[in-house]
Each structure stands twice: as structure tokens, then as C-alpha cells.
Amino acid sequence: MWIVKNVLRGSLRFADLDLVIPPRAEIDLDRLLGRDRAESASSIKIALDEGYLQNVHKEMPVRESVSPRQLTQQLEAFKSSILSEMRASLPNLLSGEEIKSELGQLHDSVLGGVRELLDKVRVRLREEKARVAEDRTLTDAEVRARLAFLEEKERELDANFERLGHEAEPAAGPSQLAHNAELLGGIGASS
């Protein structure tokens, strides 16, 4: 039971619900509309918010009690329906060999695309090396340092390409930091 009262001196019309509430009248929305429809109606919500309707009495809906046996039966029925749906969809799944084949093709495609990009980067590195070698504004030490830097970047690209698709491993061997510092130190000494 959900009793509401029209507090206005005039009738309230709810066209979307085909409902008219006379002035100062009380009605049971549960009986006229049903709880779900009444609670979901935006026009009722607005009328309550604006104060045109007043809640007189609203009971919580009584839920049907379910015995443990009924609950178990409902859960078993649900489980059976889910299992039957899963069994029906299993034949549509790919086999392990089909998945391996698809992944192999995808790997080859990605590898080809990366190889193309790597070739373009190598061309750009060669162009940059040529530009650095011909730059007359740089000292010999600066040219050597920049060329060494570009060669190091090319080695890193090659190493990264070789590791593509493999599990990442920590970098092995001595750090290039000392070598790069030595190259940069040579810049200041010869200028």
C-alpha cells in the first residue's frame, strides 16, 4: 500500500499514467498503478519533489519467502541452463592448433610491419650520420661523439628488434654510461 495525497486545490493530471487525482484526495498508487510503475514514473517523482503530492503511507513491499529447498531447486535450474548454453557454444570455439595458427599469422604480420619501420629508421640514421659527418660547424670530437651516439642507437634498435616477441630480460653487460661519458669528455678537451 502506497497512499499519496494531492495537497493542491486543483486536480493533478498525470497524462503519461492516465491518472487524475482530485483536489485534497488520497489514493493508493499500488492499487491503481502498481508499485513498479508508480516508482518509475518521473511525473510522480516530480510531483512529490515539488510538494504537489504528499506521502501519507508507504509500506515496504512484501517479498515472497523462499524455502531453502526451493532456493536449491532454483539454483540447480539456473546452473543447468548455464551449463547447457556453455555446451552449445563450445563447438564454435577454435581448437588449440587453430589458435596457434592465428597467433603465428598475427606475429608474422606484426614482425613484418616492425621490420619495415626499422628499415625506415635505419635510413634516417644513415642520413643523420652523413649530415653530422659533413657538418663543418662541429669539431672532430663532437662529430665522433654524435656518430658514436647514433651508432649506439642503431645497436639498441637491432637488439630490441631481436628481442621482439620474447620475454623481456634485464640488460646484460656493462653500462654504456661510462663509454658515453668518455665520448662527451673528449668534446671539451679538444675544443
pLDDT tens profile 66-122: 677 887 888 888 888 888 888 777 766 666 677 778 888 887 888 788 888 888 888
Q: What CA–CA distance (Å, rounded) separates 127 from 122?
A: 9
Query: Does residue 27 surpass a pLDDT of 90?
Result: yes
Q: What CA–CA distance (Å, rounded) separates 79 from 60?
A: 31
What does the pLDDT read at residue 34?
Answer: 87
- Can you give the residue ranges of every domain in the chain? 2-58, 101-165+179-190
How much is the pTM? 0.36
Query: Does residue 41 surpass a pLDDT of 50?
Result: yes
Dihedral of CA 15/19/23/26: which sign? negative
Q: Which of 16-25, 37-46, 155-164, 165-174 has the lowest mean pLDDT?
A: 165-174
What does the pLDDT read at residue 172?
Answer: 47
Query: Does residue 166 surpass a pLDDT of 70?
Result: no
Query: Does residue 10 surpass a pLDDT of 80?
Result: yes
Q: What is the mean pLDDT of residues 162-185?
A: 60
What does the pLDDT read at residue 7?
Answer: 93
More confident residue, 31 or 102: 31
pLDDT tens profile 118-153: 888 888 888 888 988 888 888 888 888 888 998 998
What does the pLDDT read at residue 191?
Answer: 46
What does the pLDDT read at residue 25?
Answer: 93
Question: What backbone torsions phi and psi does residue 5 show, to the nearest 5 degrees?
Answer: -125, 135
Mean pLDDT of the chain: 81
| Percent of the residues in the chain that have a pLDDT greater than 70, as a whole number | 79
